[in-house]
Amino acid sequence: MLRIAGRNPENVGFIPKKSQRRSIFHLMSETKPTIPVPVLSVAQVASLLGNPARWIALRELSKEPALPVYELGRRMGLTPAAASKQVALMLRLGVVTAVYGRLYALAPAFRPAPGTLEIDFGHCVVRLDQPLS
């Protein structure tokens, strides 16, 4: 370890030698801790999936990292105010989170695996690539 001048060894004033630092590739290859899936009741899942607009919102948020409400509303065929009400319900259930300002994304526990459009709600697995009709 290298010592920063004027710092006490017990303090955080130490930085590792170059040979002791982890590379970004090493950090990326570490296994990530599992994210616990929030428990939604069957009634909550049913209310979430009972509206075609929320179904479309889930599908669009599965495809994109984050979207603003007006873009979700456009994709759902709703006004921004109506889309905001749908997003508010999904926020209350913990399925959607607000990220960086007014952008919304699926909560980490509900993000589908890369290359798939399936969300596991515990009680059911929803395939969002299927048409609604």
pLDDT in tens, 57-94: 999 999 888 999 999 999 999 999 999 999 999 999 99
pLDDT for 106: 93
Helix or strand holding residue 103 (H, E): strand 103-106
**Under a CB-based contact definition with an 8 Å cutoff, are residues 106 and 58 in contact?**
yes
**Under a CB-based contact definition with an 8 Å cutoff, are residues 48 and 40 in contact?**
yes
pLDDT for 65: 87
User: Is residue 129 predicted with pLDDT exceeding 90?
Assistant: no
Please tell me whether the overall predicted TM-score, pTM, comes out greater than 0.85 for this model.
no
Q: Are strands 118-120 and 96-99 parallel, antiparallel or unpaired?
A: unpaired
- Please give the CATH number for the structural domain made up of 42-127: 1.10.10.10
Of 3-12, 47-56, 57-66, give the lowest mean pLDDT range.
3-12
Question: By C-alpha distance, which of 115, 125, 128, 130 is closest to 37?
Answer: 125
